[in-house]
Structure 1
Amino acid sequence: DSPKPKIIEHPKSHLAIKSRSANLVCSATSNPFSNMTFLWRKNNGNISNPSVYENVTLTENGKPHATSVLVIPDVAHSDSGKYQCVVSNKFGTTYSSKAKVNIVTFPRFIKTPTNITVKTGETVTLNCAATGDPPPEISWKKDGGNDFPAARERRMNVMPTDPRFFIVNAKTTDMGVYSCAAKNPAGTVIANATLTVLQEPSFIRVMENKEVTSGESVVLQCMISGSPKPVLKWMKDGSPIITTERHFFTAHDQVLVIIGAESSDAGHYECEITNELGTKKDMIELKVLPPVAIMVKEEDMTGIIIITVVCCAV
């Protein structure tokens, strides 16, 4: 082997982030090992007063090698260029390959989306814009994923060069957390905004009058929708319904179950739903009919009596 320095680790090209520090590493050895000096160059010119630290360590096979680390503190655009280390000992000089350092700027928001509340049918506008070098790409997510109900229904409009994100004819399915990400080679920044869609309380289906025979069970339904979720209140003949062993609610109070209906259960049942956009009511009538009487012919009754007497005699 030549006694001249042999570079075993060349400085590597990389991206340096503006206002942060960056390092370039150069390692060399020689046989026989002798003291080496390192000189750093940029764009073919020597760097005056570089910030470096150097040490000597052993390789895996036990051979010594020297390392010089060039530190670029507080990186600026003026630090971009081609860097090279020059290693010398008393036997000669060796030049490393050149490493290209490009300066990038971390993305920074200049417009961020804010929480927004709209009513169903209205248009939603979220703003998001960022600066950086190179200019960052903007992307959107809903609740951490890429499933946008408005996109499937062609109600969403996003343009790469437009900081505005549109949803027309807003629906409750559009509610959620919308995340705007600005990304370039330096990194990614994310801003979140919550979309709330208000919807008037409404009945999914019209309540229907019921008619049952005494002793039968009956189910009364009041299926509703609205945003925020409406508060539901049941009334019977103008008074609140009190739950008992025979009267209970299920399905988030949207279903009233009456076990073994009695004549006292007959009446008008009202379902009232309320949220911040208003109140709506629906009402039905429940009729409880008396048990059906079973008609028995006189000759059949005589037979029953005779059979009963015979059985008792036996």
Structure 2
Amino acid sequence: MPEPGFKDCGSRSDRTRRPEFRLGLVIRVPKMAQICFVVSLILQILRIGQLAAAATTAPTSDPEFTDSIENITVPAGRNVKLACSVKNLGSYKVAWMHFEQSAILTVHNHVITRNPRISVTHDKHRTWFLHISDVHQEDMGRYMCQINTVTAKTQFGYLHVVVPPNIDDSLSSSDAIVREGANVSLTCKATGSPPPSIRWKRDDGSKISISKNLVVSEWEGDTLEMARISRLDMGAYLCIASNGVPPTVSKRIKVSVDFPPMLWIPHQLVGAPLGYSVTLECHSEAHPTSLNYWTREDGHMIHDSEKHRAVTLPDKPSYKTHMQLTIHSLTKDDFGTYKCVAKNPRGETDGTIRLYISDPPSTSPSPVTTELSRKDWDSTAELNNSVYGNPSSLTIQNEKGAKVGSKFQSNLNEIDKSEQKSSDSDRKRNSKWPSDDNGGSGAELASSLALLYLGAAGLLAVR
């Protein structure tokens, strides 16, 4: 004869569970949908041994519920207990069930389910507590408390389990590298209860360019699509998932935009006196980061030495760099054409800078002079180097590398004599100097402008 006990009752994982107490018969339920009938039948069987004693005692009131089961919302991972309060229970029994899972959890003091997180306690048979530890999302649903009266009495309470958002990396985009002008689609998938919402922001606070005509601060939705992306769109994008259950989570997705190098030269024509030092400048944009270097007009690469000092400085945004070439103690051989070159896997480009000889500043110590401050000299030097419409990036230094003093002195008569000494032979010797639109020498025009400037300054000083 087989051992008596519960069979085919409760959740699938509980079907082979045998309770610690025996009923003396085997119950087989063909369909789990008959859960209520089964529980009621079990509770009635439990009362078989109590009927004789009940017949000899005075009649009592039927048991009834004294309070409804409270609906509870709890975050996943917490512990929770559901309370079922009854009165006049007498010899009747109380059972707990998970209605959606069609599972009998407890009967009176006994735990029926195999779930180790389930337990039951009571307060002198008045309140029966169903304990669930480390709540999982699958624990969510309706819980039924039933008393095994002739017509079973039942009531329900709902357990709502909330789960903070979690971004599923396997279903979300990772860092992306695209060509400039291509379309980009980023995806972010998140789970949680309630289902989380997704919004996108740029990590640096810049706006998101969805298309040529649509620029936004934030974008909502699982997918972020950007048309014809440019280098300005390069950077980190944040996918932020939230559902009202802390904490809000985010995923950082870096978008790199590849493009060939481009150069911008602020001063393509630079003048400097013999014996001085000068710095040439180029600004490059490239991604991936370009290889940057300087050459002479014959293609010979310039290396760092006592004569030359090449520096590449990072700029912002990260795809920009600032190239500088400093040439010390200029000689005639140093004048001519220089090239700044930038290369990366996407392409190569170069830019040309022409370095020519200019007149040095006058430093006569005559005390009866009009003083010209360094600021005024800088303005004059700028005029000298801007006469052809190309401002220079000249950094004037003396032979020892120190900057020229804060003031220069010059005599109006000496300047006049200096201009008269600009002979034809001098112009032939400096035949490489560029000329203005009227065919005159740039140095002559600059000297004239300086003369006019100093004359005006002298008149103001006399007054």
Into which bin does the TM-score normalised by the smaller protein fall? 0.5 to 0.7
User: Greater relative contact order: 1 or 2 (C-alpha under 8 angstroms, separation 6 or more)?
Assistant: 1
Q: What's the offset of the Cα at 1:181?
A: 3.2
Q: Is 1:101 paired with 2:159? A: yes
CA deviations 1:156-209 (Å, max 9, x no partner) are 68453xx32022332323222323233335665544432101122111236512
Identity value in percent: 20
Gaps of 5+ in 2: 1-68, 84-93, 99-103, 112-117, 146-155, 314-321, 363-413, 419-463
Cα distance in 2 for partners of 1:149, 1:108 equals 21
Distance 1:132 1:208, change over 3 A: same
Aligned to 1:81: 142
Q: Secondary structure at the match of 1:173?
A: helix
Q: What's the offset of the Cα at 1:289?
A: 5.7
Q: What's the offset of the Cα at 1:40?
A: 8.2
Aligned to 2:132: 71
Q: 1:249 aligns with which of 289, 303, 310?
A: 310
Aligned to 2:338: 269
Cα distance in 2 for partners of 1:83, 1:13 equals 14
Aligned to 1:225: 285
Q: 1:213 aligns with which of 259, 264, 273?
A: 273
CA deviations 1:81-128 (Å, max 9, x no partner) are 3689xxxxxxxxxxxxx9752134565647311322122232221122
Cα distance in 1 for partners of 2:329, 2:192 equals 72
Cα distance in 2 for partners of 1:83, 1:192 equals 45
Gaps of 5+ in 1: 1-9, 27-38, 57-66, 85-97, 297-314
* Larger of the two Rg values belongs to structure: 2
Cα distance in 1 for partners of 2:358, 2:251 equals 63
Distance 1:132 1:243, change over 3 A: closer
Q: What's the offset of the Cα at 1:233?
A: 0.9
Q: 2:178 aligns with which of 107, 113, 118?
A: 118
Q: Secondary structure at the match of 2:276?
A: coil
Do the aligned residues in 2 keep the contact of 1:11 with 1:24 (CA within 8 Å)? Answer: no
Q: Is 1:24 paired with 2:24? A: no
Do the aligned residues in 1 keep the contact of 2:199 with 2:219 (CA within 8 Å)? Answer: no
Cα distance in 2 for partners of 1:235, 1:42 equals 84
TM-score, length-scaled by structure 2: 0.44
CA deviations 1:8-29 (Å, max 9, x no partner) are xx98832353xx5642287xxx
TM-score, length-scaled by structure 1: 0.61
Cα distance in 2 for partners of 1:249, 1:216 equals 17
Distance 1:166 1:155, change over 3 A: farther
Do the aligned residues in 1 keep the contact of 2:290 with 2:344 (CA within 8 Å)? Answer: yes
Give the length in aligned residue pairs: 254
Structure 1 counterpart of 2:333, one-letter code: S
Aligned to 1:95: none
Q: Secondary structure at the match of 1:239?
A: coil
CA deviations 1:63-96 (Å, max 9, x no partner) are xxxx977125664656423689xxxxxxxxxxxx
Q: 1:52 aligns with which of 113, 119, 129?
A: 119
Distance 1:158 1:241, change over 3 A: same
Higher relative strand content:
1
Q: Secondary structure at the match of 1:264?
A: helix
Distance 1:215 1:182, change over 3 A: same
Q: Secondary structure at the match of 2:303?
A: coil
Cα distance in 2 for partners of 1:231, 1:176 equals 21
Moved more, 133-142 or 276-285: 133-142
